[in-house]
Amino acid sequence: MKSNIQDTPLNKQLFGEDFIWGISTAAVQIEGAHDADGKGESIWDVFTQKKGKILNGHHHHIATDFYNRYQSDIDLIKQLNIPNFRFSISWSRILPDGTGEVNQAGIDYYNRVINYCIELGIEPWLTLYHWDLPHALEQQGGWTNRAIVDWFTEYVAVCANAFGDRVKHWMVMNEPSVFTGAGYFLGIHAPGRKGIKNFLPAIHHAVLCIAAGARTLRGILPDSEIGTTFSCSYIEPYSAKPRDVAAAIRVDALLNRLFIEPILGLGYPAELTVLAGMDKYILPGDMDSVKFDFDFIGLQNYTREIVEHSFFTPYIHASLVKAEKRKVPITAMGWEVYPASIYHILKKYDLYPQIRKVYLTESGAAFKDEVVDDLVDDPKRVEYLQQYLQQVLKAKNEGCKVEGYFIWTLTDNFEWAEGYHPRFGIIYVDFETQQRIIKSSGLWYAGLLR
């Protein structure tokens, strides 16, 4: 009888003994305590104060109060049988001015979190940069100033020396395309800068920092596992018309190839004419120094995008055809639920022989969750996770080098410019009382990992 992998009930054994199962978070989205214990201002502290930047005027000053509740939240990770916890370090807690004096209280805080994970048998996975640049550095140009390579290297070295005796898995950066695109081109994320003149240097300096940060880690911690993460969406043209197909190729280069290819030693994608002005930021020797042989690449996938030619969109001449308009199932972010996206993404990145190993470091969905009789039943999220995982399994069984999966995210949290409205957690948070309720999806994950 012909077997169909889609029909196989999910079971963690199917992914193999060594498959890494985890949960992901980020400092700004959960910690709160934005000015506690000597922390300096970050670009998000400044951006959230500006009128009209965050939906409903929300800010992250308390968020899920993880800073104070880390023990009970890590207890929940334990209760859900999740063996790996990915979280990010806030640069301005460690170096309040971005460089120079180290804030010991910041180091102590992350030591408490790391030590508590280890005490409970949970492996800590650290992201060094999840978008919260110290404001003092932004005042000197932030990602548009090439000096950021030195600033970032200094920060990475402080973290490696402080935590490297216990932390074995490191991610240099989270989704550079989002923080440069949304923060330095569209102006919809911190620091709110716009235009190509900010975007191009930010791209190149981020690429330089990914490699410089990784080299710093490897120099100090030769035995640790070093990766970095990229967002990626499966891209398809709206029609078979040559101009839609060409538009899809450009968007794919922008969203899926722009950052990873230079790091793999392939240079910037030639299809992107938007990069025409990039040359002036690339100094001799740069394209060699941006190469780094990562132990793993973290891929983060939520959806697919359908692309059509658009004469009026500057630089890229392409636009996304909204999922809502296409009448397909969507999440609370308006993103299409399209499980095969994660399969195609794994197949796509499998074509790069330079990539040794892939972990899916984020995957998840926001839905409108409600508390009924003290319970939160979220069947759509359970179905989403099951279907995406089936596709991961299919890719793995076809030989793709995928060796881990981290759900985004532990608790509902501060979803950047969208505020607290989209709920991505497998644990519900009442933001008034900070009460946590494990959703059905959390119970489902606990069952899978039992």
Binding site for ligand BGC (CB under 6 A): 26, 29, 174-175, 178, 231, 300, 362, 408, 415, 424
Q: Which residues contact 255 (CB under 8 A, 6 or more apart)?
A: 177, 231, 232, 233, 235, 305
Nearest distance, CB of residue 300 and ligand BGC, angstroms: 6
Nearest distance, CB of residue 275 and ligand BGC, angstroms: 22
Nearest distance, CB of residue 276 and ligand BGC, angstroms: 27
List the catalytic residue out of 41, 175, 261, 305. Answer: 175
Output the six-digit token pair for 315.
Answer: 């630089």
Distance CA 151, CA 178 (A): 21
Question: Is 154 part of the annotated catalytic residue set?
Answer: no
Q: Is the CB of 391 or the CB of 413 nearer to ligand BGC?
A: 413
Nearest distance, CB of residue 296 and ligand BGC, angstroms: 17
Distance CA 343, CA 402 (A): 10
Are 330 and 337 spatial neighbours (Cβ–Cβ below 8 Å)? yes
Distance CA 186, CA 122 (A): 38
Torsion of CA 160, 210, 333, 62, to 10 degrees: 30
Q: Is the CB of 107 or the CB of 113 nearer to ligand BGC?
A: 113
List the catalytic residue out of 138, 336, 362, 415. Answer: 362
Q: Is the CB of 58 or the CB of 218 nearer to ligand BGC?
A: 58
Nearest distance, CB of residue 335 and ligand BGC, angstroms: 9
Distance CA 352, CA 209 (A): 22
Residue (of 409, 393, 354) closest to 19 by Cα position: 393
Q: 76 φ, ψ to 5°?
A: -65, -40
Q: Is the CB of 23 or the CB of 26 nearer to ligand BGC?
A: 26
295-315: string of b/e by CB count within 10 Å (b at 16+)? ebbbbbbbbbbbbbbbeeeee
Q: Is the CB of 245 or the CB of 333 nearer to ligand BGC?
A: 333
Residue 247 corresponds to which amino acid? A
Question: Is 175 part of the annotated catalytic residue set?
Answer: yes
So which residues are the catalytic ones? 175, 362
